[in-house]
Amino acid sequence: MKLQTKLLLCGLVALPLFASATTQEEDKYEYRATPLAEQKADLLDDDGDGVINARDLCIVTPEGAALDNDGCERYVDTSQTMALRILFDNNSTYIKPVFQNQIREMADFLTTYPETSIEIEGYASIVGNPDKNLVLSKNRAEVVRQEIIKNGISPNRLTIIGFGETKPEELGNSEFAHAMNRKVVASVVGYKGEVEMEWTIFTKIGK
């Protein structure tokens, strides 16, 4: 038992000798700085849409919008149309009050879709002189144009054309045909893009 104790003590005394076999100078390593990668592109994502600035063609996108490969929001195109149809008495350019609501609605439509413009077409019946009817049809289109301008629409968005008694809507020499051909018409299509939203777990699915 005493012999074992002596051997254990000798081992503990000898241990520091082996542990200090290397010097402090030898334990030092040369410090090498972490190399900096050469960044050739902007990897930031300023608008937080998941597309880096270097590839993002739309620097600002609505939050939650579905994106295309260029980082731009996708739109669902919806189209609406507005038509104008105003009838006149024989040899008259007076707009009857019943048609004023159509003019206001057309002006509202043009305000909603500011990129649109319209051509206002005037017509006349076959009653009377063809040359005078051509002038009359232009005058009818012009009075409608002026009424739309009064409702806040820029004049350069409205053009007129007179067809006189050509291109009749109703053929024949009846009073009904004449009444239907004394008119001003116009139509316009507006496109309004609605942003397509990205699907989430909260997206409702129609039944």
What's the mean pLDDT when you consider all of the chain?
Answer: 79
Contacts of 38 (CB under 8 A, 6+ apart): none
Residue 83 is classified by DSSP as E
Write the single-letter amino acid at 156.
N
- What pLDDT, on the 0 to 100 scale, is given for residue 7? 47
Strand pairing partners for 80? 190
- What pLDDT, on the 0 to 100 scale, is given for residue 189? 86
What is the rounded distance in angstroms from the CA atom of residue 108 to the CA atom of residue 85? Answer: 16
Q: Name the residue among 9, 202, 184 with its Cα closest to residue 89.
A: 184
* Yes or no: domain 75-195 corresponds to CATH 3.30.1330.60: yes
pTM above 0.85, yes or no: no
What is the rounded distance in angstroms from the CA atom of residue 19 to the CA atom of residue 17? Answer: 6
Instruction: Name the residue ranges covered by the structural domains of the chain.
Output: 75-195
What is the rounded distance in angstroms from the CA atom of residue 170 to the CA atom of residue 166? Answer: 11
Strand pairing partners for 190? 80
Lowest mean pLDDT of 7-11, 159-163, 171-175, name the range.
7-11
